[in-house]
Amino acid sequence: MTATFNHEKAKSFVRDTLGCQCPDSAFDRIDYQENADILGKDAIAKRLLVGNRLLIYVLEIDDAESLPILLPSLVRNAKSERDSQGYNRLRVVIAAENADMIRHAAESVFAEIEDTDPKVHLHVLGKGGMGAFH
């Protein structure tokens, strides 16, 4: 856990920003990893595990050009982790300064990923909405 991570802000982020309805007891344990090496040398993501049931990866990007490579890899690897560890849901968050411009590209790439399921969700947010991580 880094010094900049805030447990209460993380709970607010999960509930208010992502819309997850986890019970209060799930928030008794929140594991946070600042530099999750899920994408190898390509990019670093933030990893949040809420109550050993909700897995969240946050990938900050600057433009949509990297999405066709990074997003499918992130989803595949994170889904594999979710399934092998028995977690319930996966939320993949793309954080960008220009979220409105990137949203359509991210949603298009996400829709083409074959190995998703109803428990895998994509969120595209502005970096300003990432208060739990700054």
Residue 1 included in any domain: no
Residue 26 maps to a domain? yes
Residue 30 — left, alpha, or beta (φ > 0 → left; ψ -120 to 50 → alpha)? beta
pLDDT confidence band for 70 (50 / 70 / 90): very high
Note the pTM of the prediction, 2 decimals.
Answer: 0.92
C-alpha to C-alpha distance for 126 and 77, rounded to whole angstroms: 23
Q: What's the pLDDT tens digit per position in 28-40?
A: 999 999 888 888 7
Look up tokens 């982790």; give the residue: 81
Domain span including residue 122: 7-133
Q: Is residue 124 part of a domain?
A: yes
Among 9-18, 36-45, 74-83, top mean pLDDT goes to: 74-83
